[in-house]
Amino acid sequence: MQRIPLYVCALVVSAAFAAASSPANAAVILLDDFNRATQPSALLGSTPNTGGTWTITGTSVVNPLTVNGSVLPMANTGQDAFSAFSQSVPNAVGNLLITSADINVTSIGAGLVGDYFMNLSDPPATNTTAFFQRLFIRPSGAGFQIGLLDTSGGTTTYGSAVLNFGQAYNVDVAWTFVAGPTNDTFAVTVDNLPYLTHNWTSPTAEPAQISSFNLRQGGGAAAPVLTVDNVQVDATIVIPEPASLALITLGALARSLIGLCLTPSPSRTSAVLTTVGTAVFCGDSPRISAIELDKHPFGALPYI
Ligand SMILES: [Ca+2]
Ligand SMILES: [Ca+2]
């Protein structure tokens, strides 16, 4: 008599449990390619492809941010702007934030400490100091390095590879939320290659959520002159699932499992799937092929 290997059934059960307990939405929550047919030259007041209207951060109107040739040039000092995400992202285990941009750095003052030009923040509109995930550029040799700082009070981590002025790079920053107040992690890739990793270093606690994206023309000569393009934030947000819905899903799972166990064994003459309590057995010998479904986080299965 043909039996379905236990691991096949177990794999199905495990995958279905994961899907039932941790559904997630992946979405683009901010995007600006500065390419739109109706693209205004002034960044402030324009609306990104996805996200809220670009709004001034602080008060400086020096070097107003101005789209030019479908990219956004940034000077080393002047006006800053933010755009609110289409939805805020809670700082919760399982959620993920990916921020990306195409950058081309023209110059930065040699021998200076560098400065950041891009960050995330919360809440939008009212916040001018709580800037997170600050992306830095500092001079190094004949080129520059990229750095990442969680927030003020921490220590910036720089990658070791020296990048070239006048060359376009795609930079991605992944923010991973870890249970606990000051321990989240960040990973930066440049052109899809690992560049640096950074663990939260500031004594300031992580924000409860992240809600906007910021472009910053920084602190004078220490800051870079560059262009940015295709700024984008992608979020994966776990959706809390009501226990009752989970139980319905598990009931459907059990029915699927019965079908899986029976289909490849049409010649069986005896019952090949039996239940004992809340355990379901694939095959005719419970002692060797039991799959216990009563260990799931929602309590015993209501239906098998
Ligand atoms: Ca563009
Ligand atoms: Ca944390």
CATH number of the domain within which 232 lies: 2.60.120.200
φ, ψ of residue 109 to 5 degrees: the values are -60, 125
Number of domains in the chain: 2
Any idea which ligand is nearest the CA of 186? 2
Any idea which ligand is nearest the CA of 150? 2
Sheet holding 273-276, edge to edge: 273-276, 279-282, 290-292
Are 226 and 254 contained in the same domain? no
Are 13 and 141 contained in the same domain? no
Q: How many other CB atoms are there within 10 angstroms of residue 153's CB atom?
A: 10
Structural domain of residue 51, as residue ranges?
24-238
Are 133 and 199 contained in the same domain? yes
Are 180 and 87 contained in the same domain? yes
- The whole-number pLDDT of residue 220 equals 82
Any idea which ligand is nearest the CA of 205? 2
Domain boundary among 213, 238, 263: 238
Tokens standing for residue 34: 């500065």
Q: Spell out the residues 6+ positions from residue 79 whose beta carbon is closer than 8 angstroms to its own.
A: 44, 56, 60, 61, 62, 63, 64, 65, 217
Any idea which ligand is nearest the CA of 70? 1
Contact 104, 226 (CB under 8 A): yes
Query: Would you say residue 10 lies in a domain?
Result: yes
Q: How far is the CA of 70 from the centre of ligand 1 (A)?
A: 4
In this structure, the strands spanning 185-190 and 80-90 are: unpaired
Alpha helices of 118-170 — where are they, by DSSP H?
none
Q: How far is the CA of 90 from the centre of ligand 2 (A)?
A: 11
Q: Spell out the residues 6+ positions from residue 222 whose beta carbon is closer than 8 angstroms to its own.
A: 76, 108, 109, 112, 113, 114, 115
Mark the residues whose beta carbon lies below 5 A from ion ligand 2.
178, 180, 183-184
Q: How far is the CA of 160 from the centre of ligand 2 (A)?
A: 26
Q: How far is the CA of 202 from the centre of ligand 1 (A)?
A: 34
Q: How far is the CA of 231 from the centre of ligand 1 (A)?
A: 9
Are 58 and 151 contained in the same domain? yes
Q: How far is the CA of 183 from the centre of ligand 2 (A)?
A: 5
Return the H-helix or E-strand segment holding 291.
Answer: strand 290-292
Query: Would you say residue 64 lies in a domain?
Result: yes
Q: How far is the CA of 132 from the centre of ligand 2 (A)?
A: 13
- The whole-number pLDDT of residue 240 equals 76
Are 252 and 143 contained in the same domain? no
In this structure, the strands spanning 72-74 and 225-238 are: antiparallel
For residues 74 and 67, give the distance between their C-alpha atoms in angstroms, rounded to a whole number.
9
- The whole-number pLDDT of residue 264 equals 39
Are 87 and 197 contained in the same domain? yes
| pLDDT beneath 70, residues of the chain | 1-22, 125-129, 243-304
Q: How far is the CA of 187 from the centre of ligand 2 (A)?
A: 15
Any idea which ligand is nearest the CA of 69? 1
Any idea which ligand is nearest the CA of 33? 1
The interaxial angle of helices 243-262 and 6-21, nearest 10 deg, is 160
Any idea which ligand is nearest the CA of 31? 1
Are 184 and 265 contained in the same domain? no
Return the H-helix or E-strand segment holding 268.
Answer: none
